[in-house]
Amino acid sequence: MAVRKEMVLYYTPEKSADDQKRKGVLVRLGIRIRNIAPEQAGQQVGYLAGLPGFAEQVCPAPEAGAEEQTGEQMEGPQTEPLAIPERMLVFCGFTERGMSELLSQFRRAKLPPVPMKAVLTEHNSGWSFYRLYQELRLEHEAMSAGKAAEHAEAGRAD
């Protein structure tokens, strides 16, 4: 059997039976899993995925109230919260066919979808894991609002 190079960065705030099933599917397909802990949320996604050219970031403790004092959200891993409140998956090294196969296997296993998921790209590899989560959250909210507006519009057309 050929060794696959795909990997999933797997973050979950609390373990569940679905996580065990989801990881079982990944293992059966020969896909590597890298569990991401809350204290790694300030690290660059490229580093967590093991890409060359990315090094571990030293994350000093954030200064209390620094964001409130300036009124701006500060950049860098030291200012980002370390807790992500929901499950998040980042797919690394997948072809379109491989991604399709994996998602099909998740559906076959009757696993609930994970809304916070992304594919590692050249664009997001330099982002912190937490920043990627923030971007996914914004996209998800925008898509949900768009679907709600479409549904409301369809209701008025009746």
φ, ψ (nearest 5 deg) of residue 53? 90, 0
Range in 2-6, 65-69, 76-80 the model is least confident about = 65-69
Tell me the per-residue pLDDT of 2-43, one tens digit each, with 9 for 90 and over.
556 899 999 999 999 999 999 999 999 999 999 999 999 999
Provide φ and ψ at 103, rounded to 5°: -65, -35
Query: What residue spans of 49-95 are helical by DSSP H?
Result: 66-70
Q: Output the furthest CA–CA distance in the chain (Å, rounded).
A: 57
Of 120, 68, 66, 114, whose CA–CA distance to 91 is shortest? 120
Angle at the Cα of 98 (from 103 to 128), degrees rounded to 5? Answer: 80
Q: Where are the domains of the chain?
A: 7-56+78-157
Which position has the token pair 């300030």?
Answer: 42
Nearest-10 Cα torsion for 4, 112, 86, 19: -50
Give strand pairing partners of 7: 32, 92
User: pLDDT at residue 53 above 90?
Assistant: yes
**pLDDT confidence band for 153 (50 / 70 / 90):** confident
* Mean pLDDT over the full length of the chain: 84
Structure tokens at 87: 């499950």
Q: Which tops the pLDDT comparison, 82 or 73?
A: 82
15 Cβ neighbours under 8 A, 6+ residues apart = none
Q: How far is CA 15 from CA 10, 58, 87, 112, in A?
A: 11, 27, 9, 14
Question: Which ranges constitute the DSSP H helices of the chain?
Answer: 17-28, 45-48, 66-70, 96-108, 129-157
